[in-house]
Amino acid sequence: MAPWARTALLIGLAIYVARMPDARALGVFDKPARDRPAEIEQRRVGYGAGASGFFEVAAFSGMNIFAGWVGPLAVAAYTVALNVVSIAFMIPLGLSVAAGVMVGNAYGARQPAALSRAVGVGLGVAIAFGLLVTLVVWPTASLITSGYTHDPQAGPMATAALILCCLFLIPDAVQVVAAQCLRSRGDVFMPSVTHFISYVGVMIPAAYILAIRMHEGINGIVWAAIFASLMSAGLLLGRFWMLRGRDLPAAA
């Protein structure tokens, strides 16, 4: 059987199974009633999370421009270091979603103690993971970068950048979990503002000054990322401190 025919057969079989009477009886195909207030709230949270992600990802990606101004080897080294850090960042990103669910449940149930506990656990696990990755990556940076390149110039440069990146693994994990926890307790606007300030307002100018003006090269770019991550984590934790005594709204 030709591949296209096999694919068509599988699709048809899937449609037949999905249309079985049992599926219809269970309401699989029933269209739910619209809940416009819930839709508005979901969009509000989504826009805030999207803005935060855009500011952070765009700023880190934009560092490639400064690395290009430094030289082709800097671009290669920065790409290697950023790729390793991005892979490690996926775990705190997942943790932020899990912590956000716990915080959202506590916020919806109007349970301040449970909310604080969920935030504390989320941040504690994020810190522990950041520390674990740091302790693994720091002594094995040369081995890790050798999996990307054997270039005698780009390799050592990437290794030095990756070791320096270890300084912001913990604050980066903290800031992504803290931001999601804030959104889950209804504070959507401030995480976007802090990400804009930290990554657009601080990291980009700092990277330009350190890497280009002060000729620090790729290390200047990484130091700018360290400053931005520390600022983002500090601002978000400060926001939690501001909200600590605020009563949760009464249940509707």
Domain membership of residue 10 (yes or no) is no
Higher pLDDT, 218 or 252: 218
Give pLDDT, residue 37: 84
Please write down the HEC assignment for all residues of the chain: CCHHHHHHHHHHHHHHHHCCHHHHHCCCCCCCCCCHHHHHHHHHHHHHHHHHHHHHHHHHHHHHHHHHHHCHHHHHHHHHHHHHHHHHHHHHHHHHHHHHHHHHHHHHCCCHHHHHHHHHHHHHHHHHHHHHHHHHHHHHHHHHHHCCCCCCCHHHHHHHHHHHHHHHHHHHHHHHHHHHHHHHCCCCHHHHHHHHHHHHHHHHHHHHHHHHHCCCCHHHHHHHHHHHHHHHHHHHHHHHHHHCCCCCCCCC
How do residues 16-48 score in pLDDT, each as one tens digit?
666 666 666 767 667 778 888 888 888 888 888
Domain membership of residue 4 (yes or no) is no
Give pLDDT, residue 42: 83
Give pLDDT, residue 8: 78
Closest CA to 232 of 165, 173, 162: 173
Domain membership of residue 192 (yes or no) is yes
Q: Does pLDDT of 120 surpass 60? A: yes
Q: What is the rounded CA–CA span in Å between residue 24 and residue 28?
A: 6
Domain membership of residue 183 (yes or no) is yes
Q: Does pLDDT of 125 surpass 90? A: yes
Give pLDDT, residue 46: 85
Q: Under 8 Å CB-to-CB from 126, ≥6 apart: which residues?
A: 92, 95, 96, 99, 173, 174, 176, 177
Domain membership of residue 170 (yes or no) is yes
How would residue 224 be classed by pLDDT, with cut points 50, 70 and 90? very high
Give, in order, the Cα–Cα distances in Å from 109 to each of 11, 29, 38, 114, 251: 43, 31, 17, 9, 7
Domain membership of residue 80 (yes or no) is yes
How would residue 234 be classed by pLDDT, with cut points 50, 70 and 90? very high
How would residue 3 be classed by pLDDT, with cut points 50, 70 and 90? confident
* Choice among 86-90, 232-236, 245-249 with the minimum mean pLDDT: 245-249
- Report the b/e string of 196-210 with b at 16+ CB within 10 A: bbbbbbbbbebbbeb
How do residues 44-85 score in pLDDT, each as one tens digit?
888 888 898 899 889 988 899 999 999 999 999 999 999 999
Q: What is the chain's length?
A: 252
Q: Is the pTM of this model over 0.75?
A: yes
The residue segments making up the domain with residue 144 are 48-242
The number of distinct structural domains making up the chain is 1
